Structure 1
Amino acid sequence: MKPVFLPRPATECFATPGTRTTFAAVSTWQTELQQTTRQWLRAGGSIEKWFEDYRRLRLDILHQNWRLIVPCDLRSKATFVLLGASARGEDTLTSDLDYALLLSTQTPSDIDNLQPHLYRFSQAMATFGVSPCPGNVMATNPRWIGTTETWKERIDAYFQYPSWENTRYLFMLVDSLPINLEKFGDPSASPNESAEIGVWNQLRQDVFDRISHSSYLCWEMAHLGIEIPPAAAGRTGGWLSSKRFGQRPKSISMKTSLINPIVHSLRLLAITHNISSLSTLDRLDALAAKQVLDRTLRQGVAQSLRWSWQARLHGGLTTPPNSANSGEFMLSSTANVHREELMTHLHTTRNLVRMVHRNFKKPR
């Protein structure tokens, strides 16, 4: 019998639609969500199915707080745009809040009027365990809000001056997804009925196309944005050796050492091979279908990605919220069999990143 992931809907934390939550209700819901996730992992449930169900939960939380906090006249002018893992459908319990806003119209006072509500929105999301983005990739930052014309001017400026910082912003826009947050959960609403959703999709496609034709931007991402993970030295040497008494436990971050190198490598390859999918696994399958990756590497990368996501998810359940060690692989308290798995996945990830580095040489 297949495991079933059925956490209690977040809407039950609101007494009635459009009313505030209580700390006790949210705390109870979070505890139940963690317990359900533990049971799911122990039962060997699919990480893709967990992502799918958690995405619905998280969108519901966004929808409820958005409608509760942002006044209707301001909501009607703003299209919500998911960024990063949220856009790819790969959020875990420790993923933070990354989003942009596309405004249909903008008067000098619109953004000023929105900002206090956006800060309260971030605080409300944090109550549900969705922390504000530490890099401030949110519409509270003027860089991530604006009309169509503002966004076009901003994007053109990034292309005209492709510093590493600006290049990062362009690649972040590739991993973006506009949603009709106002009507989330309404079965009669079309997901693409908003004109602004079509506008954003065209903006994203333009960025995608312009990056694909720029060997310099692709080189920048390959060599400045995708680092080779640390070498797995072996059970008795290097960073895998046991900690000495009194020293800080040795650990490795699932996100920075495994997930990000794989996700960013596959995104870059997808752009240069005209694969528009957002999901990392969909990108991987499409790259394999185009024979960009051989069968062995494709299978290894898929296994490494799923293993890393599950390890990060498990780490988020075993450390306090917002802990520095959340999502880290604690080597000092890990059985040798899991260290062996880690070394295998690091080796696979290094092979993928090396291939990407070889494919994108610095333009002369």
Structure 2
Amino acid sequence: MAEHFSFTHAPFDLLTKSQQKLFLDHLDIVYFPEQDHFIKQGETASLLYIVLKGLVEEFSEANQSIFAHYTNNDFFDIRSQFGSPCKHDYRTIEETICHTLPTEVFRDLLNSNAAFADYFQRDLAQKYAQLEAREGNKNLAEFILTRIDDSNVQPAMVIGSDVSLKTATKMMLEQKLETLIVEQDGLYGMLTGTDLLRAAVLDEQALDSAVAHYANYRLISIDQGDFLFNAMLAMTQHQIERVVVKNGDSIVGIMEMAHVLSLFSTHSHVIALRIARAKNIEELKKAAQTLNNLVENLTNNGIKIVFIMELLATMNGQIMKKLFELLVPESVQNQVCLMVMGSEGRGEQILKTDQDNGLILGEHLIWPEQQATLAEFSQHLLSFGYPPCPGQVMVNNPFWVKTSNQWHEQIEQWLLHGQSGDSESLMQLAIINDAHAVAGDKTLLPPLKQQIIDGCKGKEVMLSQFARIALQFGSPLNFFGHIKSNDAGLDIKKGGIFTIVHGIRSLAIEQGIATTNTLARIRELAKLRVLEQKQSQDLQETLQLFFWLRLEQHLTPHQQGMNLLDITQLTPNERDLLRHGLHVVKKFKSFLAHHFMIRDY
């Protein structure tokens, strides 16, 4: 059976043909009965094991801890292959067949193949980066096949040749345009901000001078419906930064090189422009509905998950702010604060998730249409693709709309009940603690968050109860090795994400850290030496891995559930990373229990 060993799985796909032959020449097969304790802690390794069939458990007999499970195509014990004694024990959970490779042959392969050796010596962060690199650059053809249409063309504003320099400048600023089209006797020219600057500053022209002499009438054009790639070629060939877009003989828009390049890097810039320029709800809705495609394009082009989250958080914030400005009377806007919470507040969304928002009202605000406007706000977000929050944490729920003083009183009540261990009050504090202001008077929010930090300071019992919530879900490590997740899949939120997010939130409140993003909180905790640097790095990489795996599977057809991972769809390398990450979570749970003195965990 050794000659049928598959070299398609990482890292064995890195071996050359001659190295594969050496591998097969020394490969053997061994059989272990169920519950065979075949490797003991402290022993010196002589073989590398690769599971062909069955299930092996890595554990510690001394303290009865379970560290990992290994099944088809998994290998172990790598640490001991480099000369260290076996750190843990190994036993079979069921009848198991393994390939074995002598340690000296394995070391020879490491010495002769740098890429193969590098794989085994990488830590979680490096393996994750390697996986991202392999998955990157999947789909650049989209850019080449994209056509010029209304969604990616800057509007063309045509003015007369007698318009003054001052008026043209004001029009550019008011309409947020970089270019104007000047019409003179049936001819069309292009007038840019640089042209206006040259006229006013370098040529010292009077501000009431006509723009006619400063426009460029030698225009290069491209047809609406042509390929975006051809627009870039035209600009490159003529060494210009702008072309006009025509529909027949009519000028319908302008395309700029910076704009084209931004489209090439996944359309983020054009969506931001569409959000900023939206004049009504329908235009904003169309921009919002493109966000999921943006995330998919970013993923397909190998963009790191942390940048996707940052970009999506910015885009979502812009959409909420724009909708707020379109609906809320201008006289009211500076007297209220719109805040988002949950993953949105932490800047950790990877797709549109539930609406989690609230409002802080000024003390003397008079707003008769408040209820109707806020109901309309939530309904429009629903039409944009943001589902309602199951817990009704939304501005259309009066409970989440209060004056500043009412919020302070509410937080005081939650703090009081939290000291007696009321889990609902503690979770409400967690929700507000993660809040982020996106529109209106943003100065209304920080005092509320500071009240939570001050109210928890020195309250060891309450902090212990708060942190205990992070330990409520069991680790899926016991089931993962045997691919024993149920038909629905492995819930990565319960199994990993929530523990890290809430555990780090607990530590951040204890230390008075105001930032909301989990990765930023981890870095702050490392600076304060609450977390060791290695632990900090592992937690950051693990959380990013969980987000990335969740996003990858969510973007696949027929995937059910945002937080469910189908283990059978993971590659061996992904499964190895997932198991490593779950082990990081398990160790973090033990750290939290010790740090907050949670004795019965």
- Say whether the fold is shared (TM-score over 0.5): yes
Is 1:151 aligned with 2:411?
no
User: In 1, distance between residues paired with 2:548 and 2:472?
Assistant: 22
Is 1:266 aligned with 2:489?
no
Q: Using a 3 Å threshold, how does the CA distance of structure 1 residues 161 and 233 change in structure 2: closer, same or farther?
A: closer
Higher strand fraction: Structure 1 or Structure 2?
2
Match for residue 298 of structure 1? 536
Match for residue 224 of structure 1? 469
1:204 corresponds to which of 444, 449, 452? 449
Shift of 1:30: 4.5
Q: Using a 3 Å threshold, how does the CA distance of structure 1 residues 10 and 290 change in structure 2: closer, same or farther?
A: closer
Shift of 1:314: 2.1
Is 1:18 aligned with 2:280?
yes
User: In 2, distance between residues paired with 1:339 and 1:231?
Assistant: 13
Is 1:29 aligned with 2:290?
yes
Is 1:346 aligned with 2:595?
no
| Matched AA of 2:581 | H
User: In 2, distance between residues paired with 1:277 and 1:32?
Assistant: 29
Conserved 8 A contact 1:81-1:176: yes
Q: Using a 3 Å threshold, how does the CA distance of structure 1 residues 136 and 106 change in structure 2: closer, same or farther?
A: farther
| Matched AA of 1:216 | V
Q: Using a 3 Å threshold, how does the CA distance of structure 1 residues 301 and 20 change in structure 2: closer, same or farther?
A: same
Match for residue 287 of structure 1? 525
Instruction: Please list the CA deviations of residues 250-305 of structure 1 after superposition, one character each: whole Å capped at 9, or x if unmatched.
Output: 41223222211101111111221232222211111121222222233222111101
2:426 corresponds to which of 158, 164, 167? 167
Shift of 1:31: 5.8
Conserved 8 A contact 2:308-2:350: no
Shift of 1:98: 1.0
Conserved 8 A contact 1:10-1:61: no
Q: Using a 3 Å threshold, how does the CA distance of structure 1 residues 11 and 130 change in structure 2: closer, same or farther?
A: farther
Match for residue 115 of structure 2? none
User: In 1, distance between residues paired with 2:592 and 2:451?
Assistant: 23
| Matched AA of 1:329 | L
User: In 2, distance between residues paired with 1:34 and 1:207?
Assistant: 34
Conserved 8 A contact 2:361-2:401: yes
Higher helix fraction: Structure 1 or Structure 2?
1
Instruction: Please list the CA deviations of residues 335-356 of structure 1 after superposition, one character each: whole Å capped at 9, or x if unmatched.
Output: 3332222111111011112211
User: In 2, distance between residues paired with 1:342 and 1:113?
Assistant: 50
Shift of 1:12: 2.9
User: In 2, distance between residues paired with 1:230 and 1:172?
Assistant: 24
Shift of 1:145: 1.2
Shift of 1:129: 2.4
1:140 corresponds to which of 396, 399, 413? 396
User: In 2, distance between residues paired with 1:286 and 1:236?
Assistant: 34
Shift of 1:177: 2.0
Instruction: Please list the CA deviations of residues 182-213 of structure 1 after superposition, one character each: whole Å capped at 9, or x if unmatched.
Output: 5xxxxxxxxxxx4xx33321121121121132
| Matched AA of 2:469 | L
**Cα RMSD between the aligned structures?**
3.0
| Matched AA of 1:86 | E
Conserved 8 A contact 2:309-2:348: yes
| Matched AA of 1:161 | H
User: In 2, distance between residues paired with 1:93 and 1:168?
Assistant: 23
Match for residue 188 of structure 1? none
1:312 corresponds to which of 541, 546, 550? 550
Shift of 1:75: 3.6
User: In 1, distance between residues paired with 2:540 and 2:373?
Assistant: 40
Shift of 1:83: 1.4
Q: Using a 3 Å threshold, how does the CA distance of structure 1 residues 105 and 28 change in structure 2: closer, same or farther?
A: closer
Q: Which has the higher contact order (CA 8 A, sep 6+)?
A: 1
User: In 1, distance between residues paired with 2:588 and 2:382?
Assistant: 35
User: In 2, distance between residues paired with 1:206 and 1:6?
Assistant: 41
Match for residue 49 of structure 1? 307
User: In 1, distance between residues paired with 2:385 and 2:578?
Assistant: 28
Moved over 6 A (4+): none
| Matched AA of 1:336 | P
SS at match of 1:20: helix
Conserved 8 A contact 1:26-1:127: no
Conserved 8 A contact 1:219-1:362: yes
Conserved 8 A contact 1:83-1:173: yes
Q: Using a 3 Å threshold, how does the CA distance of structure 1 residues 205 and 20 change in structure 2: closer, same or farther?
A: same
User: In 2, distance between residues paired with 1:220 and 1:93?
Assistant: 31
Match for residue 191 of structure 1? none
Instruction: Please list the CA deviations of residues 15-70 of structure 1 after superposition, one character each: whole Å capped at 9, or x if unmatched.
Output: 851342497x4687246324423323xx2x22222222212211221122222333
User: In 2, distance between residues paired with 1:11 and 1:356?
Assistant: 44
| Matched AA of 1:46 | K
| Matched AA of 1:223 | R
26-35 vs 148-157, which deviates more?
26-35
Q: Using a 3 Å threshold, how does the CA distance of structure 1 residues 336 and 250 change in structure 2: closer, same or farther?
A: farther
Identity of aligned residues (%): 22
Unaligned runs of at least 5 residues, structure 1: 183-193, 243-247
> Computing the radius of gyration over CA atoms, which structure comes out larger, 1 or 2?
2
User: In 2, distance between residues paired with 1:152 and 1:31?
Assistant: 37
Match for residue 492 of structure 2? 254
Conserved 8 A contact 2:415-2:452: no
Unaligned runs of at least 5 residues, structure 2: 1-132, 138-264
Conserved 8 A contact 2:554-2:562: yes
Q: Using a 3 Å threshold, how does the CA distance of structure 1 residues 284 and 16 change in structure 2: closer, same or farther?
A: closer
User: In 2, distance between residues paired with 1:28 and 1:273?
Assistant: 39
Q: Using a 3 Å threshold, how does the CA distance of structure 1 residues 35 and 348 change in structure 2: closer, same or farther?
A: closer
Q: Using a 3 Å threshold, how does the CA distance of structure 1 residues 362 and 324 change in structure 2: closer, same or farther?
A: same
280-289 vs 67-76, which deviates more?
67-76
User: In 2, distance between residues paired with 1:336 and 1:269?
Assistant: 34
SS at match of 1:54: helix
Shift of 1:225: 4.3
User: In 2, distance between residues paired with 1:223 and 1:35?
Assistant: 36
Shift of 1:168: 1.2
User: In 1, distance between residues paired with 2:284 and 2:335?
Assistant: 29
Shift of 1:126: 2.4
Q: Using a 3 Å threshold, how does the CA distance of structure 1 residues 232 and 170 change in structure 2: closer, same or farther?
A: same
Shift of 1:81: 1.3
2:437 corresponds to which of 178, 183, 186? 178
